Amino acid sequence: MRLRLLRGSVARQRELADARTRCRLRGCAQLDDDDECLRQVDRRLVERVVTLGGNHRALVRHVYLPSVASWVLGSMKVAVGFAFTGAVVGEFVAASRGLGYLLSFAQSTYNSALMFALILLILAVVLLIFSLAGRLEKHLLRWN
């Protein structure tokens, strides 16, 4: 029994490694976890498309891209807000202009009104970017 489990485990690992390679060759978007791309794809859909005579291009267009798109767009929605915040922090540390520099200037001159205004402006911009990314996600995933 144990040998059968080990053999199944090795076969499963080999299958996952082959699937990862195929996924990378097809250009499947992966952000955090290699296996996440594979978990999104429904095996029954792949089998049905192949049974109906679908080629590699049909699999990518009709199975792989739609199943991974929601995960990628959801991650993008969060990442865009963090990217803007990271740019402001970078300006805060080592820039001579921009919102981060202005925030640093307000802090050094003890101008609390300007500092709170800038924080609210940064918050508004991040929320705007987040909502635009959410609208883009809704538009691209109408079928979902």
pLDDT digits (tens, 9 = 90+) for 13-35: 555 555 555 544 444 444 445 45
Q: How confident is the model at residue 121 (pLDDT cuts 50, 70, 90)?
A: very high
Whether the per-residue pLDDT at 120 is higher than 90: the answer is yes
User: Average pLDDT for residues 101-109, to the nearest whole number?
Assistant: 91
Name 16's Cβ contacts closer than 8 Å, sequence gap at least 6: 35, 38
CA distance 130 to 77: 6
Predicted TM-score (pTM) of this structure: 0.59
Higher pLDDT, 13 or 98: 98
Cα 125 to Cα 18: distance, rounded to the nearest angstrom: 43
